[in-house]
Structure 1
Amino acid sequence: MLLDKINVKIYPLFEKLLKGGGFYQVEESTLQITTSHINSKNQFFSSLECDNFRIDTDQNGKILFIELYSPKKSWLVTENIKFPHNANKADIRILDFRKSIAIPKLLTNHNNTILKIEWFKEHSVAHYFIATDIVLEVNNNSQLTSIWINNITNDIAGKSLAKSK
């Protein structure tokens, strides 16, 4: 069954914002997005996914890892796309689990260093950093509408991704 909305719970962030980033695996045409939440306490529990995208979460709904299986040439270059640098920090939990989601729209800048992964083109009311360079966009009903990734780097043989951990 296809999930029509991705429900989230937003909590204040009381700890330091963790390191995050997007690493485009050139050989595989895959974008791997890490949130640095993976450790012995936070292990994989569930995922939301579609044909070209997956969000892995721990048992509390915290995002651990995001993977996009889509070559950069399929990302739609959009004029004037701006990463929401003025976002607040938050601890956001995904409430849905083990569901299929719609294939997102992929919007990028000319040099593919910013990516907006968009599911629902609704009026979003807030942007929240969940890790450095990763922002979640939500609507009034606490539903995820988009994920923003900033400073995407090309990674050959996983070298940059390995350094980030």
Structure 2
Amino acid sequence: MPLTVRDAAPADVPAITAIYAAEVRDHVNTYEYDVPDEAEMERRMGAALDAGYPYLVAEDEAGVAGYAYAGSYRTRIGYRLTVENSVYVAAGRQGRGIGAALLERLIADCEARGFRQMIAVIGEPANTASIRLHEKFGFRLVGIFRGIAWKHDRWLDTVQMQRELGAGSGEPPHDR
């Protein structure tokens, strides 16, 4: 079975939870300390979908290989057309195009929903794979926040990257 990217479903929550648990425990791609359980991950997925954001999984012959979703960049109304992306690939499955397939579809789905900007918040500059992935899809470096997060007994810098979606900032939104 070739890699397929599709909308996530509640049946995917156990696999999504397992992928995210490894990120929380072992890495700094998320600054969360405690691994959320399946009920919490299902709640998060439902909240994203209910708010009109895409939530995707990549699946191959071995099952769910990664997931991605968009969410609000900030809660103030002026940011309503800007999303933040999250892309996670299962441990040991990186470097096989899974993240690229997810991000490509996530960008397309966000554009189809009328969003205008996508922000990538990358947990530390040493995550060159994520930075290169985002560059491949037209993201540009906006800046690096120095020492703003504490995890695994060290201060972490955070990379911010940005990509326009659709008309970007070239024309006003229809609802102004």
Shorter chain as normaliser: what TM range?
under 0.3
Question: Please, what TM-score do these two structures have when normalized by structure 1?
Answer: 0.26
Structure (1 or 2) with the larger CA radius of gyration = 2
Higher helix share goes to which structure? 2
Of structures 1 and 2, the one with the larger relative CO (CA 8 A, separation 6+) is: 1
Whichever structure has more strand as a proportion of its residues is 1
